[in-house]
Chains A and B, each alone.
Chain A
């Protein structure tokens, strides 16, 4: 009928080959062609929301810095700091609370760059809702993007003095259609999620109002963390990566049309719904507007102190577990990262727009 020994041998070979192929995605860090690889973790797949990497790749900024970037995306279910701990990423764009909690548990995660000086998470209600601020959600049902948002909601409630038990919650995910329907049916009265979800809803005629408390809204979104050993080992490559990033970020500030052109080319799936695509681009560019254009990605210790106070008051962090924010932040690379010719980058963007 068939040679069973051959079949069994093939089966064994298949297991060994596949297991070997699946053994891990580590490599020696050499990106090939004389470039050094930098594995970076983001909370999304390639997206206009993190346009600097798209621009840097397209305009050759990574190449001229001798860096070969590799994206390691992960949703909220996987801790961004875990990617650093297990060596799956060299740098990780994590949440402020994740980094504070990791350090409070003896982690050595250090923040060296923070591209978004505004919170990318928040809480919204329908435009015509009676709820005017965060205290208004007492006695209401709040939809959450993920279980992880509970921590963020608790922190916001604490700032308004609303007991956590006074609010009912339900994890509803990120499907825009579902969130809109839940609001319409009165199943939820507020939603905690990402600004990108809010703008997609807003762009599709679901009018929302942001009621995120001001001090929480100021907390940085997605600051970049690294472990000291990795920084020491790959300092040059990480600085090169961030220099290319800041150039890409700068292009968004001076020539958003080029970013749109690149994003349409690189992530066409995000433009299937034109309104959502345009809203996401506007949001990304405004989120990444630097306080000082000469110090893109600068760190703001006062915002981190606020973030920590909010975590303590919400009971997420015990008083005795607080971290020394100054130790967690290292802005010594900011100058070096921003040391490049603005005019040259502007010209490169213009040439690209002109089809060069």
Chain B
């Protein structure tokens, strides 16, 4: 394990991995600086990258900004969990039952095509001014990608595999657990990754309308006070929060849908082989009894 980590962190390997995004960042910052130097954009609107970096450093060292980061993170995560749970809870019955699909489908689509920013003030008026209204806005925005991706995943399970499960006499629950769930996980995780980013958008939209704390509040305050470098620094923080949420979902996906990632699959196979060897050694070389088959467990 330690050897693998050291290998991954070797300077050459790091440099090979990092130079393309760093080069792009350098080009972007260069163009940004040039745009200000030639007065293409006013400094009042777009501050120097250096000033943004200084503001970012000063803000993260201040005490007050962490309360705002905490507020936005809580609203986003809670909204994401609520939206994703609702999306899954409605997508699964919709995937299993055509009647449920016909019943819920039109409303899920209607919710998606309704501009959520337009109903955000109403949600705040209904749910109150505390965290709950922001969580609901984030949840409503996060709901659809999870719902539609999970439903798609369930509906697009390989027909031949389904037929094989049927011929082996698998129950509906067994088919759901061993075929539909693993089959839909990759698409479902794509929806969860999208939803994680969108929940942050929902939280910030809610904060723009009514909030005591949060990074959305800070962006507005700094922008109206002409503290543009600070406003950009907070936007940078929002970007890092979004990356954090995305990264967590990416890690969960690699851990859960391991069969889609060769390295994870190999690592898992090795662990299993090592465990089997240990078990064999404990049993004095006698292989353990085979696990019951799908049919045998009915």
Name A's B-contacting residues (CB within 8 A): 1-2, 4, 11-12, 14-15, 18-19, 21-26, 41, 45-46, 71-75, 77-79, 82-83, 86, 88-89, 174-178, 180-181, 184, 196-197, 200-201, 204, 268-270, 272-273, 276-277, 280
Q: How far is the CA of A86 from the CA of B121 in the complex (A)?
A: 13
Instruction: Please report the C-alpha to C-alpha distance between residue A83 and residue B63 in the assembled complex, in whole angstroms.
Output: 31
> Within 8 Å of chain A (Cβ to Cβ): is B141?
no
21 contacting pairs across A/B (C-beta < 8 A)? A2-B256, A14-B85, A18-B85, A18-B135, A18-B139, A22-B82, A22-B132, A23-B132, A71-B212, A73-B129, A73-B212, A74-B209, A78-B210, A82-B125, A175-B223, A176-B225, A184-B42, A269-B65, A269-B218, A270-B225, A272-B227
Contact B128 A24 (CB under 8 A): yes
Nearest-CB distance from A13 to chain B (Å)?
9
Return the CB mask of B115-134 against A: 1 if under 8 Å, else 0.
00000110011111111110
Whether B177 contacts A4 by the Cβ 8 Å rule is: yes
Q: Is B162 an interface residue (CB 8 A)?
A: no
CB-defined contacts of B181 to chain A, threshold 8 Å: 4
Q: Which chain B residue lies CB-closest to A42?
A: B212
Residues of A within 8 A of B220 (CB): 174
Residues of chain B with a CB closer than 8 A to A177's CB: 42, 44-45, 223, 226, 228
Q: Which residues of the partner chain B approach A1 to less than 8 Å between Cβ atoms?
A: 182
| List of 9 A-B pairs having minimum Cβ-Cβ separation, nearest first | A25-B130, A25-B128, A276-B225, A176-B226, A72-B129, A22-B132, A177-B44, A175-B223, A273-B227
A73 touches B210 (CB 8 A): yes
Residues in B with CB closer than 8 Å to A18 are 78, 81-82, 85, 135, 139
Tell me if A78 and B42 are in contact (CB < 8 A): no
B45 touches A25 (CB 8 A): no
Residues of B at the A interface (CB closer than 8 Å) are 42, 44-45, 62-65, 78, 81-82, 85-86, 88-89, 120-121, 124-133, 135-136, 139, 176-177, 181-182, 208-213, 217-218, 220-228, 230, 256
B128 touches A175 (CB 8 A): no
Q: How far is the CA of A26 from the CA of B210 in the complex (A)?
A: 16
CA gap between A116 and B131 in the complex, in Å: 30
CB-CB nearest in chain B for A88: B128
Contact A269:B222 (CB < 8 A) given known A18-B135, A181-B44: yes
Question: Contacts A25-B128, A74-B124, A272-B230: A11 and B89 contacting too (C-beta < 8 A)?
Answer: yes
In angstroms, Cα B47 to Cα A204, docked, is 14
Contact A14 B62 (CB under 8 A): no
For the complex, what is the distance from the CA of A72 to the CA of B256, rounded to whole Å?
42
* Residues in B whose Cβ lies below 8 Å from that of A276: 225-227
A143, chain B: closest CB distance, angstroms: 14
